[in-house]
A and B are shown apart, each in its own frame.
Chain A
């Protein structure tokens, strides 16, 4: 009688898509190499690298982000003689924002000591003095800023407001008109209304 021999049957290879599977990470030490990256990914600390190559620029970036570290970088910029006058000016703005108006004046005047024609420092000092209610000094600094940078509209606007407070309406109208002349059209509405009100008061 013939003997039935079971024929080995190989399952046919599955055709079609093949999923990608996560490979086991090879142990580098098996290959005679030190495993320097054995710690898990979760423990890796992401360190922000400086985005610019100078302390001042880094400070400016941090300042725009509202980071308090900006102060540290501005001071480093001063120490390293990188745009020192601008760094002092921006430190003044930071201090004013923190409500320390005395320190703000200190930094802004340090900036003017380095460059007496620094228009932003004059303009910002105008803002600080008007916050303090010293309108005469605010007026002087706004006037200086408009003399140095006659194309900057905001200097004329703020000077106009100071002149309104000092009841010098005709001069205020001239300043606000100059602002309208220089500022983009999107900013005209409020200024025009202000001029209309001033005209009715000044008559």
Chain B
């Protein structure tokens, strides 16, 4: 009998990127909006180069997929790279969040 592998866990910034992608939805999640969302909610300065590298890493792990969107005038007629979390990606977010909750429960920080 083959064992089902446990869901992947995410590093800090990976988690933020995945949550932002889930929140923004398939039509609106792309590097610029993800960086803006993280920056707005956490107050930290987000380098877009970091977002690109993290998205690449997550895609390599199979936690999300990307596809080109339509060309847009506000982007000088260039398309967006839209981000969609995979089922494994969503599972990884849940597993990481659960681990954080489990670790922090009852701890006064």
Whether A and B are associated in the same complex: the answer reads no
Q: Which B residues are within 8 Å of any A CB, using their own CB?
A: none
Q: Which A residues are within 8 Å of any B CB, using their own CB?
A: none
